[in-house]
Structure 1
Amino acid sequence: MTIEYIPESQRQGGIEEFGLPWQGITLPRELLDRHGARILDPWAVALDPGERRPDSTVYRSHVLLFPGQALVSDEAVSWIDSALSRLGLRLSRESVERARGRDFGDETVWVPGVLEIAGQDVEVDAWRALRVLRRALRDESDGWPFKAPLGTISLDHLFVGSATSGIGSLDLGGEPATSGHAVVDEPGMGARPGYGRIPLTVVAGPPRRRSLDDLGGPRITVVTLDTGVARYHPWFRPVTEPDAFLSVDPAGQQQIEDTHPAYADRDIARLVGYEDLGQPSNPLVGTLNSHAGHGLMLAGLVAQIAPDARVLMYKVMHSDGVVPGEAVHAALDRLLSRMDAGAAVDVLCCSFGGFSEAGDPAMQALFNKVNQLRARGVIVVNAAGNYATARPFYLAALSETAVPGPPLAPMIGVAAKNPDGTIAIFSNQHPAVRWRAPGAMVVSTFPPQFQGAQNAPLSTGERAALDADAVGPFCGWSGTSFAAPIVAGAIAAELTKTIGQVGVDPVERARTVIDTMINDKVVRPEIVPI
C-alpha cells in the first residue's frame, strides 16, 4: 500500500460551470422525502440584478441554520419573523425555545430553525426564505448589532457519504453500492462484482495492539464522524470497555440527537444512539441501506494501519448515506468542548461531503468551526468525493485554503486510487485535493449481523454460489470514503512515534508529522517480511 502526495497543485483547465457535469446531483425522491429535503435547481430561481446564478445543492426545505446567540434576542427573532412574513412564514416557537435552552458560550454555535406557515397555506422553501432575509438585511444600517450575525444564516445542507445514487446518469460504475445490495447492478439483471460491498473472507486476526504500559503514554485519538459502531465484531472489544480500540461518547451523541430540527407537523429521519443499526430501506424487500456498515469499514482501516491508536466515533450519518449539517456542527461543538476540558483529539476523519450553492462562503461557518480544532492541533482529513467531477466538494475543497493568523494543523483532501495505482474512475479532483490513497475494493471490517435479501444466483441444498448480500465480518468496498481513513491511519501511526514527547506544541507536532510524510515522497506503513 502506498499513499501519494502531489507537490504541485493540480492545474485545472476550463470547465463548463453548468449542465450535467456541474449540476449532477440526483437523489431519489424517497430519500429527499425521508429527510425533508429538496435539490436546488440553478435554472429555476430568479436572480437579482448582478447576482451570480447559484449552483445545485441539497438542503432541508423547512430549515435554516441560525447563529444560536441571535435567537436568544427578542429583537432579532422579531426581525426574522417580520422579514419571513412576506412569504407567509415565521420561525417555529419550539425552535426558538430550544435555542434559548442552550448555553452558547463565546463561540458561534449553529442551530436549526424550522420555518412554519404563519397564516394561509403557502409553500415552504428555505432557499426562498434565505433570499428574503438577505434582501431585508441590505436595508438595515451597518450599525445595527444583529446585521453581521444574521448575515451568516445559511441553508441546512445535507452532505453525503458517497455518490448515493450514482454519478449523474453516466453510470460509470464508480460509486459504492447503489441499490442496497453488494453489487452495482439491480437484482435479477446479471449482477456482477463491482465497486460496491462484496463479502470477503479474512483469515488473519486483528493486528497486534500494544498495551498502554508498553506504549508509554496516551493513545493517539482518531475521531470519525460516520454511521456509528456495530453491536458486535470479532476484531473489536465492546465500546464500553476501558481502552477499547473503538469507543463512543454517549453524552456527545445525545447532544447530536438534541439538535434534530423541531418539526411540529411532519416526521423526518432522526439520528438515534451511537449504533449503526443498518435498517433496510425497504423492509418488505429487505435490501440493506446503501451505507450500512460504512463507519465500521473506516474503523477497521485505521485499525489495520495504527492499531495502537483509538477511534472515537460519532454517529452523524444515516445508513442511507445522508449527513445533516446540524449534526456535523453539533459533533464539532462537542469535540471543542471536550478538548477544552482536557480530552485529546489528534486526527479528525470526515468521509463525507457535499456541494454548495454559492462557493466557499456558504461553507465558511463549518470551515471556521473546523479551524478551531486545527488551532488546537487536530489534523483534519477529508474525502474528495465520488462524483468524478472537478466541482468543489466540501470540506475537501477547502483543504488548501489559507487562513490568516497563527499557523494551524494541516487539513488535507484525499482522492482514491485503484490497486494498480491509477486514479479511481469515480474519484473527484480539485486543486485542494493533494493526497491519493487506495480507495477501490479495500478490505475492512463490516457488521456481521447485517444480512440483505438478495439470494445467491445458484443454490442446491447445502451448496451455493457466493451471495453478495450475505455479508460477513469483512467486505471489500470502494470510495474516497475509504481512502481518507487510510491516510488518517497513516498519520496516527506517525503520531504514535511522538508519544512521550514533552512540551511539544500540538500544532507544531501536527505540521512536523505531515511534513515528514510529504518528505518521504511515498508513505508506507512499516512492513516486516516473513
Structure 2
Amino acid sequence: MVVKFVPKPAEQSGDDDRTAVPEVPQQLLERHGARVLHPANALVAGGPYPPPRSTVYRAATMLVPNELARDPKVVAAFNGVLSELGVEMVPPRRQDNLTERLDRLPRPVPMRVTGEVGKPAQLDCWHALQHLRVAALNGKLPKDLVDQLSVDHLLVGTVDIGGTPWEASGAGGAPWEASGTPGSGYARGGTTGRIPVALAAPAPPRGTLDRRPVVAVVDSGIGPHPWFDLPDRTAPPPAGGFLSVFPELQEAIRKQGEEAALTTTTQVLLDYWDAPVTDNPLIGMLDRDTGHGTFIAGIVRQSAPEANVLAIRVLHSDGVAYESDVLLALWGLILRVQDAQEHDPERMVDVVSLSLGYFDEAGSTSTFTGQIAEAIDKLRELGVLVVAAAGNDATSRRFYPAALAERPSNPDIAPQVVSVGALNPSTTRALFSNEAPWVRAWATGAGVVSTFPTDVQGAISANLMPATGRGALDSDDFRAGFAVWDGTSFAAPLAAAEITAAMIRCSAEDPGLALKGVDRKVAVKRAWAALTKAGG
C-alpha cells in the first residue's frame, strides 16, 4: 500500500459549489431526529451571518458550551427569547468526572415545546438559532454568547461511494458507485461495496519498545477478531494488547446520549462494541458501516504493527455520528493526554485518525469548524498529530474536519491536520475521492484488505446451493474475518499508521525523540520529525 504527500499549494482555490443538497434517506432522518438544511428556504438572521449552504443537523438539540449550559441566568436569558417561538432549552442535569472538567465542551442541550395553550410550535434548532441571533443583533442578548451556539450536525463515515456521503450504495448511478453496475470500477456483490475475502496470514508480529505509540481511532467501535485477542463480545480487549478501549470516555458518551434522549429523538451509543450489525432484524441487511472501526484497526496493525490502537466509538453502524459525540471524544482525548504528560505516560496518545466528516453550512467561518478547530488545536499543542479522511464525493467542496488542513501550521505545536485522499492500488487517484488544494496526502483507499468482525453474517446468501455443504460465495458472510473495502475512510488510517511507523524509527535514531518521553515539547518535535520522515 502507498502513501504520498503533496506540497502545500502557493494559492488556495475556492471550493466547489456544485455539491447538491445531501440526499438523506427519510428513515435515517427519522431515526436520528434530523433535518436537511435547504439553502433555498432556510431562515437567516442577516447582518454578519451569511446565507447557509446545505448540511444536516439534529432538529431538537442545540450545542451550547458547558460553562454556558450550567449557568441558570444564561439559559434563562436564552429561553426568554425562545419563548416567543413556544420552545425552550432543557440544560443537561447530569455531569460526570470527565465532562465536569471541560468548561469549553459544547454540550448537546435538548429543546422542547413549552406547551403554551393556543400556540403551536416547531422544534427546529436552526430556526431557534436564527431567532437568538436576531435578538443579539437587536441588543436583547450578548452577541458573544449567542455566537458560541451551534446546531448539532450529523457527520458520516466516509465509506459510501456515491454522489453524497449519505447515499446508500446502488441508489445513485455514478460510475464510481459500488452498486454492481456493469463497467463500474468499484462494483462488487456486497451490499456496500465490501465483500468477504480469505487471508492466509497471521497477525503481523510486534517487537519490543520502551513505549508503544498509540493511534486513537475515533470511529464505530470494535468487533471480535483473533488479531486483537477478541474471540467474542463477552469481555473487553485484554490489557496490554494491541487494541484497547476508553471506558470512562465511552461512559460519558453514553450518558450524553441518554440525557438528550429524555426529550428528543436520538440513538444512544451504549458502549465500545460495534452494534447493531443490522438495524432491521426482520430483513437482516447489514448496516452500511458495520465493521468500519474493526477494518481500520486492522489497517493500523498491518502498517504499524508495533503501535497500539485506542478505539473510541462515536459512529453508529448506519454511518452517522453526532457532532456533540465527536467533540466529546476529542476533548476526552485532550484530558487523557494531559494526564499522561503530568502523571502516567502509558495513557499517552500520539496520533488521532478520523474517518468521518460533513459539509458545513457556513464553510470555514462556521461555529462548528471553530469548535472542532479548537479541540484539534489543543491536541496539537500537546503534540498529538491528527489525520482525517477527505471524503468520497468526487468534489472539491470543503469536507470537515479534513479541510482544516488548509490552515497555516505553527512550528511550536504539532503539524496541521493531515487530510488524506484515496489512491487506487495502481497509485492513480480514485474516482470517488474528494480532491482540492486542502487535500495534502494520498494513500491507498481502494481494494484494501483488512480485518472484519468474525460474528457478522447478513441476510444475503449464496444464490446457488446445489447440495448440502456446497454453495457460491456468500457476499454477506464475514465469518472468515477479512474483507475488501474502498474509501478515504481507509486511506486516512493507512497514512496515520505510516506516520506512526516513522515516529518509531525517529525515536530509535534520535534519543531526544524517544517514545518514553511524553512531555509536550518532546511530543511536538517527534510529531514534526515523524511527518517529515514519512514524506510530509
Letter in 1 for 2:6: I
Q: Give the CA deviation at 1:72.
A: 2.0
Q: Is this contact kept in 1: 2:386–2:417, CA < 8 A?
A: yes
| 1:470 and 2:467 matched | no
Pick which of 278-287 and 63-72 moved more: 278-287
**1:117 corresponding residue in structure 2:** 113
Letter in 2 for 1:426: F
Alignment of 1:102-501 (within 5 A): 104-105=100-101, 107-118=103-114, 119=116, 120-140=119-139, 147-162=143-158, 164=160, 166-168=162-164, 171-172=173-174, 174=176, 192=189, 196-210=193-207, 214-215=208-209, 217-230=210-223, 232-238=224-230, 239-260=236-257, 261-342=259-340, 343-362=347-366, 363-402=369-408, 406-461=412-467, 462-471=469-478, 472-499=480-507, 501=511
Alignment CA distance shift 1:29-1:10 (3 Å):
farther
**1:40 corresponding residue in structure 2:** 37
Partner SS state of residue 77, structure 2? helix
Alignment CA distance shift 1:59-1:444 (3 Å):
same
Output the CA distance in 1 between the equivalents of 2:16 and 2:417: 28
**1:512 corresponding residue in structure 2:** 529
Q: Is this contact kept in 2: 1:397–1:430, CA < 8 A?
A: no
Partner SS state of residue 483, structure 1? helix
Letter in 2 for 1:235: W
Alignment CA distance shift 1:388-1:170 (3 Å):
farther
Alignment CA distance shift 1:421-1:405 (3 Å):
closer
Q: Is this contact kept in 1: 2:449–2:483, CA < 8 A?
A: yes
Q: Is this contact kept in 2: 1:174–1:195, CA < 8 A?
A: no
Output the CA distance in 2 between the equivalents of 1:340 and 1:7: 32
Output the CA distance in 2 between the equivalents of 1:49 and 1:411: 32
Where in structure 1 are there 5+ consecutive unaligned residues? 520-530
Alignment coverage as a number of residue pairs: 497
Letter in 2 for 1:152: Q
Deviations 1:33-74 (A, max 9, x none): 111101100111244556532111110000110011012222
**2:167 corresponding residue in structure 1:** none
Alignment CA distance shift 1:250-1:13 (3 Å):
closer
Q: Give the CA deviation at 1:8.
A: 4.1
Output the CA distance in 2 between the equivalents of 1:88 and 1:340: 43
Q: Is this contact kept in 2: 1:184–1:193, CA < 8 A?
A: no
**2:344 corresponding residue in structure 1:** none
Deviations 1:206-249 (A, max 9, x none): 11112xxx32x11000000111111x212112443222101101
Alignment CA distance shift 1:236-1:404 (3 Å):
closer
Partner SS state of residue 506, structure 1? helix
Letter in 1 for 2:349: V
Q: Is this contact kept in 2: 1:383–1:484, CA < 8 A?
A: yes
Partner SS state of residue 409, structure 1? coil
Partner SS state of residue 262, structure 1? helix
Q: Give the CA deviation at 1:280.
A: 0.9
Q: Is this contact kept in 2: 1:10–1:430, CA < 8 A?
A: no
Q: Give the CA deviation at 1:173.
A: 5.1
Q: Is this contact kept in 1: 2:110–2:263, CA < 8 A?
A: no
Output the CA distance in 2 between the equivalents of 1:193 and 1:240: 29
Letter in 2 for 1:459: M
Q: Is this contact kept in 2: 1:71–1:99, CA < 8 A?
A: no
Output the CA distance in 2 between the equivalents of 1:14 and 1:403: 20
TM-score under structure 1 length normalisation? 0.88
Q: Is this contact kept in 2: 1:90–1:117, CA < 8 A?
A: yes
Q: Is this contact kept in 2: 1:28–1:165, CA < 8 A?
A: no
Partner SS state of residue 256, structure 2? coil
Q: Give the CA deviation at 1:436.
A: 0.5
Alignment CA distance shift 1:106-1:290 (3 Å):
closer
Alignment CA distance shift 1:405-1:424 (3 Å):
closer
Alignment CA distance shift 1:15-1:161 (3 Å):
closer
Output the CA distance in 2 between the equivalents of 1:256 and 1:199: 31
Output the CA distance in 2 between the equivalents of 1:33 and 1:199: 31
| 1:90 and 2:82 matched | no
Q: Is this contact kept in 2: 1:380–1:410, CA < 8 A?
A: yes
Alignment CA distance shift 1:139-1:406 (3 Å):
farther
Alignment CA distance shift 1:354-1:53 (3 Å):
same
Pick which of 42-51 and 358-367 moved more: 42-51
Letter in 2 for 1:398: L
Q: Give the CA deviation at 1:445.
A: 0.1
Deviations 1:356-403 (A, max 9, x none): 111123211111011100111111000000111111100000113126
Q: Percent identity?
A: 35
Partner SS state of residue 77, structure 1? helix
Deviations 1:68-101 (A, max 9, x none): 1012222211111011112111112xx3433699
Alignment CA distance shift 1:265-1:3 (3 Å):
closer
Q: Is this contact kept in 1: 2:16–2:395, CA < 8 A?
A: no
**1:525 corresponding residue in structure 2:** none
Output the CA distance in 1 between the equivalents of 2:14 and 2:439: 18
Output the CA distance in 1 between the equivalents of 2:445 and 2:501: 19
Output the CA distance in 2 between the equivalents of 1:488 and 1:440: 16
Where in structure 2 are there 5+ consecutive unaligned residues? 165-170, 231-235, 341-346
Q: Give the CA deviation at 1:322.
A: 0.3
TM-score under structure 2 length normalisation? 0.87
Specify which of 42, 57, 60 is matched with residue 59 of structure 1: 57
Output the CA distance in 2 between the equivalents of 1:66 and 1:265: 16
Letter in 1 for 2:450: S
Partner SS state of residue 157, structure 1? strand
Alignment CA distance shift 1:423-1:11 (3 Å):
farther
Pick which of 457-466 and 503-512 moved more: 503-512
Q: CA RMSD in A?
A: 2.6
Output the CA distance in 2 between the equivalents of 1:220 and 1:386: 29
Q: Is this contact kept in 2: 1:173–1:194, CA < 8 A?
A: no
Deviations 1:12-43 (A, max 9, x none): 777762xxx32241111001111110110011
**2:233 corresponding residue in structure 1:** none
**1:3 corresponding residue in structure 2:** 3
Letter in 2 for 1:515: T
Partner SS state of residue 19, structure 2? helix
Alignment of 1:19-34 (within 5 A): 21-34=18-31
